[in-house]
Chains A and B, each alone.
Chain A
Amino acid sequence: MNDVLTPFLSATIRTATPLVLAALGEVLVERAGLINLGLEGAILAGAFGSLVGATAGGLVAGYLGAICGGVIVAAIFAVFVVWLKADQIITGTAITLLSAGATGTLYRAWYGASGAALRTPTSTPIAIPGLVHLPVIGPALFAQPLLTYVAYLLVPSLAWWLARTHTGLALRATGERPDAAETAGIRVVRVRIAAVLAGGVLGGLAGGTLVLAQAGTFAEGMSAGRGFIAVSIVVLGRWNPLGVAVASLVFGAASALQFAFQAMGWRAPYQLFLVMPYLLTLAGLAGVVGRARPPQSLGKPL
Chain B
Amino acid sequence: MIASFTSSRGRSAWVVLLAFGILAIAIGAMLFLGGYSPQAAATALWHGSLGSWYSITSATLVRAVPLMLTGCAVAVAFRGGVFNIGAEGQLLVGAAAAAATALSLPSGGAFTICVALVAGALAGGAWAAIAALLRARFGVLEVISTIMLNFVALHGVSYLVRGSLQEPTRIYPQSSTIADALQLPRFPGAGRLHVGLILALILLAACGWIFRFTASGFRLQSVGQSPSAAATAGLVDIRSVTVMAFLSSGALAGLAGAVEVLGVTYALYENISPGYGYTAIAVALLADLDPWRIVASATLFGALEAGGAAMQRDANIPSSFVSMIEALLLLAVVGTQTVRRRSRIDGIAESDGAVTAT
- Where the two chains meet, the residues of A that have a C-beta atom closer than 8 Å to any C-beta of B are 37, 76, 80, 84-87, 89-91, 93-95, 97-98, 100-106, 108-110, 113, 220, 224-225, 228-229, 231-232, 235, 269, 271, 274-275, 278-279, 281-282, 285-287, 289-290, 301
Residues of A contacting B325 with CB < 8 Å? 101
Not counting A282-B145, A285-B134, a sample of 19 additional A-B residue pairs whose C-beta atoms are within 8 angstroms of each other reads A87-B5, A89-B83, A93-B330, A100-B327, A101-B325, A103-B320, A104-B321, A104-B323, A105-B320, A109-B318, A113-B316, A220-B320, A228-B144, A228-B148, A269-B159, A271-B156, A275-B155, A282-B140, A285-B145
For the residues of B in contact with A, the DSSP-based class is helix
CA gap between A95 and B4 in the complex, in Å:
19
Quick one: given A90-B330, A228-B147, A271-B159, are A286 and B138 in contact (CB under 8 Å)? yes
- Pairs A-B, 6 closest by C-beta atoms: A101-B324, A104-B320, A109-B34, A98-B327, A101-B323, A97-B327
- Where the two chains meet, the residues of B that have a C-beta atom closer than 8 Å to any C-beta of A are 1, 4-5, 30, 33-36, 83, 85, 130, 134, 137-141, 143-145, 147-149, 151-152, 155-156, 158-159, 163, 275, 278, 281-282, 285, 316-318, 320-328, 330-331, 334-339, 342
Quick one: given A91-B331, A94-B330, A282-B134, are A105 and B324 in contact (CB under 8 Å)? yes
Residues of B contacting A37 with CB < 8 Å? 143
Q: Across the interface, name the chain A residue whose C-beta is closest to B138.
A: A286
Name the contact of A84 in the complex, choosing from B141, B147, B318, B335 (C-beta under 8 A): B335
Inter-chain contact B320/A101, CB cutoff 8 Å? yes
Residues of A contacting B339 with CB < 8 Å? 84
CA gap between A281 and B275 in the complex, in Å:
22
Inter-chain contact A289/B140, CB cutoff 8 Å? yes
Quick one: given A80-B334, A104-B323, are A87 and B4 in contact (CB under 8 Å)? yes
Residues of A contacting B326 with CB < 8 Å? 97, 101
Inter-chain contact A86/B334, CB cutoff 8 Å? yes
Residues of B contacting A279 with CB < 8 Å? 148, 152
CA gap between A275 and B159 in the complex, in Å:
11
Inter-chain contact B145/A93, CB cutoff 8 Å? no
Name the contact of B334 in the complex, choosing from A91, A104, A109, A224 (C-beta under 8 A): A91
Quick one: given A87-B4, A101-B323, are A231 and B318 in contact (CB under 8 Å)? no
Least CB distance from A97 to B in Å reads 4
CA gap between A86 and B36 in the complex, in Å:
32
CA gap between A141 and B299 in the complex, in Å:
54
Inter-chain contact B324/A84, CB cutoff 8 Å? no
Inter-chain contact B338/A101, CB cutoff 8 Å? no
How many interface contacts (CB-CB < 8 Å) are there between A and B?
Answer: 152
Q: What are 19 of the A-B contact pairs (CB < 8 Å)?
A: A80-B335, A84-B336, A87-B1, A90-B330, A94-B334, A95-B331, A104-B320, A105-B30, A106-B33, A220-B320, A225-B148, A225-B151, A275-B152, A278-B152, A279-B152, A281-B144, A285-B144, A286-B134, A286-B138
Inter-chain contact B331/A80, CB cutoff 8 Å? yes
Quick one: given A93-B85, A271-B155, are A106 and B323 in contact (CB under 8 Å)? no
Residues of A contacting B330 with CB < 8 Å? 90, 93-94, 97
Residues of A contacting B163 with CB < 8 Å? 269
Q: Which of A225, A232, A278 has the largest count of B CB atoms less than 10 A from its CB? A: A278
Q: Across the interface, name the chain A residue whose C-beta is closest to B163.
A: A269
CA gap between A90 and B151 in the complex, in Å:
19
Q: Across the interface, name the chain A residue whose C-beta is closest to B36.
A: A109
Quick one: given A91-B331, A269-B163, are A289 and B139 in contact (CB under 8 Å)? yes
Residues of A contacting B1 with CB < 8 Å? 87
Least CB distance from A203 to B in Å reads 16
Quick one: given A90-B281, A101-B323, A104-B323, are A271 and B158 in contact (CB under 8 Å)? yes
Q: Across the interface, name the chain B residue whose C-beta is closest to A281.
A: B148
Inter-chain contact B318/A113, CB cutoff 8 Å? yes
Inter-chain contact A275/B156, CB cutoff 8 Å? yes
Q: Across the interface, name the chain B residue whose C-beta is closest to A220.
A: B320
Inter-chain contact A102/B145, CB cutoff 8 Å? no
Least CB distance from A108 to B in Å reads 4
CA gap between A90 and B324 in the complex, in Å:
15
Residues of B contacting A113 with CB < 8 Å? 316, 318
Residues of A contacting B145 with CB < 8 Å? 282, 285
Quick one: given A80-B335, A97-B278, are A105 and B321 in contact (CB under 8 Å)? yes
Residues of A contacting B138 with CB < 8 Å? 285-287, 289-290
Least CB distance from A282 to B in Å reads 5
Quick one: given A104-B323, A271-B155, are A282 and B148 in contact (CB under 8 Å)? yes
Least CB distance from B225 to A in Å reads 14
Residues of A contacting B159 with CB < 8 Å? 269, 271
CA gap between A109 and B318 in the complex, in Å:
8
Residues of A contacting B141 with CB < 8 Å? 285, 289
Least CB distance from B324 to A in Å reads 3
CA gap between A235 and B148 in the complex, in Å:
15
Inter-chain contact A278/B281, CB cutoff 8 Å? no
Residues of B contacting A269 with CB < 8 Å? 159, 163
